[in-house]
């Protein structure tokens, strides 16, 4: 498969690139600064582009089978726009190049229904987290709405807090619900992102993922 990965220099994005290459995929990693992606492989092409300019994204998407967006904020003190604006730009470039499949990272607290969460967690921890990171989750909610309104074959993954612990390969998923649990290794999220690309049952669905 020919994959295009956005957010490739981030903690999860780098693992997506590495795991995809290990699996034999051809990868185009879209970055702002190529020097920040210290990965070398004959099947890897690193492309410098402006995320918010769809024209510059077209070379990275032309001929691609699927897109993975590992975009995310670098901390609380962000403007709360990178995911929605970035995915909007990606979707514009996808439409221009005829690419249909995309998997993106969102977050567990974006799910408003609380489906799959323990009662106490839903009514205490989740509201507290939403207040602290309200800009981040508002951005992710806008991103999800853009995907829902469009015509691509999208899948949203909603993990809990991400850690840099080694992956276990034993993550769980839930359709349109969260998976109870407070954390997930980034390596397992990367594996889940790649797995859903070949799973038609996940198209146009949000998937909870957890340890």
pLDDT tens digits for 14-44? 999 999 999 999 999 999 999 999 999 999 9
Domains contained in the chain, CATH given: 2-210 (3.40.50.720)
Label residues 86-107 b or e (16+ Cβ within 10 Å = b).
bbbbbbbbbeebebebbbbbbb
Q: Is the pLDDT of residue 164 over 50?
A: yes
Q: Which residues contact 134 (CB under 8 A, 6 or more apart)?
A: none
Q: Is the pLDDT of residue 98 over 70?
A: yes
Q: Is the pLDDT of residue 166 over 60?
A: yes
Q: Is the pLDDT of residue 76 over 80?
A: no
- Map tokens 């799959």 to a residue: 116
Q: DSSP secondary-structure letter at 75?
A: S
Higher pLDDT, 131 or 107: 107
Please give the pLDDT value at position 119.
Answer: 62
- CA-CA distance, 96 to 138, in Å (whole number)? 27
């Amino acid at each position: 498969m020919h994959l295009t990965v956005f957010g490739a220099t981030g903690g999860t994005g780098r693992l997506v690139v590495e795991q995809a290459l290990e699996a034999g995929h051809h990868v185009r990693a879209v970055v702002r600064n190529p020097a920040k992606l210290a990965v070398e492989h004959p099947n890897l092409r690193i492309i410098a582009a402006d995320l918010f300019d769809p024209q510059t994204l077209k070379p990275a998407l032309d001929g691609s089978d699927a897109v993975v967006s590992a975009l995310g904020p670098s901390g609380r003190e962000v403007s709360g726009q990178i995911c929605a604006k970035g995915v909007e730009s990606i979707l514009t470039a996808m439409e221009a190049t005829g690419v249909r499949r995309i998997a993106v990272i969102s977050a567990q607290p974006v799910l408003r229904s609380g489906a799959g969460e323990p009662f106490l967690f839903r009514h205490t921890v989740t509201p507290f987290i939403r207040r602290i990171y309200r800009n981040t989750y508002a951005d992710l909610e806008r991103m999800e709405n853009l995907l829902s309104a469009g015509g691509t074959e999208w899948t949203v993954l909603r993990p809990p807090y991400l850690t840099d612990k080694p992956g276990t390969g034993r993550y769980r998923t839930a359709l349109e619900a969260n998976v109870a649990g407070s954390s997930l290794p980034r390596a397992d999220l990367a594996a889940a992102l790649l797995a859903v690309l070949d799973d038609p049952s996940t198209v146009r669905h949000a998937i909870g993922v957890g340890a």
